[in-house]
Structure 1
């Protein structure tokens, strides 16, 4: 009986060590994608001036791929503004009207990278970028 008790702590120590090693390996942050946020700018759409901003998926690391891009724009101090969502490698572009000259506009984005192992997404905030137009 004493021999069995002496082996148990060694076996338990090996098992716990293996679990700890596996846990530390899986806690590494997987690679993700970069996203590029444009500054707000004025464009003309069907004869109407609007403010626009884009969020573009860029280079990805490892096995990650762009999953979604969301870009939002608002006039400073005004809410709620507008947001647009794009999937995969598509560019998210938002338009806000009416354009008011001399107002400070602020763009923000959220880019999400899809990962296969473990299955899921890693999202990051991009911005803000502001411009008085």
Structure 2
């Protein structure tokens, strides 16, 4: 599936802007969703980076480009390595087959873009 924008960073910006209407019309729902996300991703028995790797795998398996974009940006900020991304995507492809392999390629592109922006 082609991206609706040129970069994953632009995709996250576009999706965030598009969600403004939903946040305005359903503030309680969107606040609850945000609270759920913060609680689910908080350090616990699993650290934030591990949880973000899981979220990336699920985003790839669900064929969700915005999920890939948001989670690869978070992983780059958390200091994930390309090897950690690659191994996570290897498990995702193993569990999800061909469709996951296609979205794994998108996740690699998104992480490289995010890591370059974080480091550069």
TM surpasses 0.5: no
The structure that is strand-richer by fraction is: 1
Q: Classify the TM-score, shorter chain.
A: under 0.3
The structure that is helix-richer by fraction is: 2
**TM-score under structure 2 length normalisation:** 0.20
Higher relative contact order at CA 8 Å, sep ≥6: structure 1 or structure 2?
A: 2
Could you say which structure has the larger radius of gyration?
1
